[in-house]
């Protein structure tokens, strides 16, 4: 059985790590390279860096930052935000990223998923899906949670897998930053519908939430930000707790 993964997420804006609640109220909390190196030492399995304003502001990710991260950490990391074509994907891979995360560009041009998967391999491609429950239906959003789309969570997740996505990073916008637990019911449904690893995001507030997302939510990996950034849940202690509760994690 594959180990369940613990993944700190570092939202980046203007070269600084930031954190918000429900995708708003953004505050700066530190340097992305220093944070990444510290997480690597703490035993994180992977990292995710998301430039939360790249798409909205029509900017490209700075390859220089990716190179610095690659030079300072020894665990896999994913980079997303403003990836609009094969050129962007190739540049990030060349700079040292292990995977890229695509959200808005895939929604606007689903064929991009096929192109990236065929050019670089599915294992290089994570499709990020941000969704919010509206009138009983999970609506997919783009542009950092700013724009609602006509896509529905489960249909879109199935389509991206058919097109070649290697993983899905699902963020419940309703749960993001409020620390009341992950959207375990929806995650469990997704895990039954998609054949690729599922990364859960949005809602971690205590170590029990991680246990729930792996057992009830059937997630393959759990992503969190503030509880790790502020060391509210130290990763070594979290992994020990999960191991004691029969969750297979890498110690």
188-219 pLDDT tens trace: 999 999 999 999 999 999 999 999 999 999 99
124-183 pLDDT tens trace: 999 999 999 999 999 999 987 889 999 999 999 999 999 999 999 999 998 877 799 999
18-43 pLDDT tens trace: 876 555 566 777 899 999 999 999 99
CB 177 within 8 A of CB 22: yes
Catalytic residue among 88, 130, 176, 220: 130
**CATH assignment of 5-244?**
3.20.20.70
Domain map of the chain by residue range? Answer: 5-244
**Taking the model in full, what pTM does it have?**
0.92
Is 51 a residue of the active site?
Answer: no
User: Would you state the pLDDT for residue 139?
Assistant: 96
DSSP string, 198-211: EEEES---SHHHHH
User: For residues 41 and 46, what is the distance between their CA atoms, to the nearest angstrom?
Assistant: 11
> Higher-confidence residue: 226 or 133?
133
Catalytic residue among 11, 45, 51, 88: 11
Backbone angles phi, psi at 101, to 5 degrees: -115, 130
Write down the number of H helices and E strands in the chain: 10, 12
Is 11 a residue of the active site?
Answer: yes
| Most confident of the following: 59-68, 169-178, 223-232, 235-244 | 235-244
104-129 pLDDT tens trace: 999 999 999 999 999 999 999 999 99
DSSP state of 122: G
- Tell me which residue of 95, 112, 227 sits closest to 159, measured CA to CA: 112
Q: Which residues contact 83 (CB under 8 A, 6 or more apart)?
A: 61, 89, 92, 100, 101, 102, 105
39-97 pLDDT tens trace: 999 999 999 998 866 555 545 556 888 999 999 999 999 999 878 899 989 989 999 99
User: For residues 164 and 155, what is the distance between their CA atoms, to the nearest angstrom?
Assistant: 15
């Amino acid at each position: 059985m594959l180990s369940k993964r613990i993944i700190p997420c570092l939202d980046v804006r203007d070269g600084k790590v930031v954190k918000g609640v429900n995708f708003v109220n953004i505050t700066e909390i530190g340097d992305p390279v220093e944070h990444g190196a510290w997480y690597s030492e703490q035993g994180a399995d992977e990292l995710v860096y998301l430039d939360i304003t790249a798409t909205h502001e029509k900017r490209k990710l700075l390859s220089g930052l990716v190179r610095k991260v690659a030079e300072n950490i020894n665990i896999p990391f994913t980079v997303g935000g403003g990836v609009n074509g094969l050129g962007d994907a190739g540049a990030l891979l060349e700079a040292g990223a292990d995977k890229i995360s695509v959200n808005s560009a895939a929604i606007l041009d689903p064929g991009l998923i096929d192109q990236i998967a065929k050019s670089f391999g599915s294992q290089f491609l994570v499709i990020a899906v941000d969704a919010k429950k509206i009138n009983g239906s999970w609506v997919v959003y783009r542009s950092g949670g700013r724009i609602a789309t006509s896509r529905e969570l489960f249909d879109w997740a199935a389509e991206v897998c058919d097109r070649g996505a290697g993983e899905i990073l699902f963020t419940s916008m309703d749960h993001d930053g409020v620390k009341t637990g992950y959207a375990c019911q929806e995650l469990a449904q997704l895990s039954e519908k998609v054949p690729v690893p599922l990364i859960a995001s949005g809602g971690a507030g205590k170590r029990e939430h991680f246990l729930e997302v792996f057992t009830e939510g059937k997630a393959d990996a759990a992503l969190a930000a503030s509880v790790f950034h502020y060391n509210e849940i130290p990763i070594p202690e979290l992994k020990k707790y999960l191991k004691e509760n029969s969750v297979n994690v890498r110690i």
